[in-house]
Structure 1
């Protein structure tokens, strides 16, 4: 049955370790994603057709971003926490370098007077969004390493 297949998928293993994907949460996330894509298409189809000649211009770009996000989410899901802990200092350095990269002429893009964007592979994105996640990983790793010291100070 469909429910049995979903549960066997939900209880599959990643590299020999048991994982559980809640099917209700997964269904809700997919429903919200689909709703957002439908709303984007509905709201932008005439504007995209008029401005670009392709009525699906915005939805195509959004679908590429969704695929990149899903691939990143699966990659993050497959990473062990211990590996993230080991990589956290390098991730902090990477975040710092990326934040500095926007200041390099030709890499950083000026938008509305601020130089906060990087333009790579046809996409522009704010490095601060990625840096925020990388700093969060480092702070979580730091807190895990210094758990006893932090517990004593509070």
Structure 2
């Protein structure tokens, strides 16, 4: 019980640190752009703070909800989030931004339902695995239904299109199947088919193929498609060992696009240097290790699986974002968890943290009950 409490405290401390880092650098990276485009240097940080408040409310709601009720209604949460994500595809309902329909507007507040869908998919898959654990290795009764759930989610995401989110949720789902001791042969074949399918989707979409070519050689179009990654590398290289200092980024002056969202890592590298980004990466590594250790403390299968799923998803998104900003992967449009600007992402991430806290508290309560009986 003490281990669970200690691990949870460490986990929450790391989350709090990442959120604070995000707030500092969202303001630093966005202030010039916000002043120019919105007339208020604090425009984006105010929106992120509003998202933080909503996220904390959601976090406490997830703590207060009984874990058995969350399990029971996991399929309903999944269906609602899937319906909301599908609604983005409907003309007159979904909002088109940057060539993709990923957004809904509620009273002027823009929300990205796919963020909610990722969380609810993990919850539903964790519930499915818990119920089907004795049939999970069966192709007909275990794996095919599991794969069907994931397939539906991926198809909806690809229709937006949101290839990056489809890759992250597909990879996370297979990781969950692996830790649940599913059939490795089925898993391997599916992974190979998925890799082949992703290759086909890239090859037959000109803009995706263009991203691959630019990733391989951004200097082939330095003023066009390669501009963003080149400016990102300039920002990272300019940081040196200790950085230029907080708020002293030069690339944020309209050189680096998406400097407060997908490429905030580059601004952090520019302002804090190698030392700063090393500490940031270390925070994510510790978050992953602590989350896995915490999940292993739980006696409830759903709690273990949902915690592992959430932690893996957050870590995978961090890896992809850092790789993209560093020129080690093609651009994907995935933010840095807890750090990048994006209210929907922050709110849903805090919902996930709330459920992890709930699982830990439920586990402690169960352990105390067992100790009393002994």
Matched, 1:53 2:39: yes
Structure 1: how far apart are the matches of 2:38 and 2:137?
57
Deviation at 1:99, TM superposition (A): 2.3
The answer to whether 1:77 aligns with 2:77 is: no
Q: Deviations over 1:25-53 (max 9, x none)?
A: 33332222112111111122222222222
Cα distance in 1 between the residues matched to 2:86 and 2:110: 16
Mapping of 1:107-122 within 5 angstroms? 107-122=93-108
Measured at CA, do residues 107 and 60 of structure 1 come closer, stay the same or move farther in structure 2, by a change above 3 Å? same
Q: 2:79 aligns with which of 93, 110, 116?
A: 93
| RMSD after superposition | 2.4
Map of 2:26 onto structure 1: 40
Return the structure number with greater strand share.
1
The answer as to 2:127 corresponding to 1:130 is: no
2:14 corresponds in structure 1 to 28
> Aligned residue for 2:348?
none
User: In the alignment, which residue of structure 2 is the partner of 1:105?
Assistant: 91
SS at match of 2:136: helix
Higher relative contact order (CA 8 A, sep 6+): 2
Unpaired runs of 5+ residues, structure 2, are 139-181, 184-374
Q: CA deviation at 1:140?
A: 0.8
Q: Structure 1's 99 and 45: CA in aligned 2 closer, same or farther, altered over 3 A?
A: closer
Match of 1:117, SS? strand
Secondary structure at 1:148 match in 2: coil
Higher alpha-carbon deviation: 20-29 or 134-143: 20-29
Q: Is 2:132 the counterpart of 1:146?
A: yes
Partner of residue 7, structure 1: none
Q: How far does residue 59 in structure 1 lie from its aligned partner after superposition?
A: 0.6
State the SS of the aligned residue for 1:68: helix
Query: TM-score, with normalisation over the residues of structure 2?
Result: 0.34
Cα gap change, 1:83/1:58 in structure 2, threshold over 3 Å: closer, same or farther?
Answer: same
Q: Name the TM-score, length of structure 1 as normaliser.
A: 0.75
Q: How far off its partner does 1:108 sit?
A: 0.4
SS at match of 2:134: helix
Unmatched runs of 5 consecutive residues or more in structure 1: 1-10, 12-18
Question: Number of aligned pairs?
Answer: 137
Give the secondary-structure state (helix, strand or coil) at the position aligned to 1:142: helix
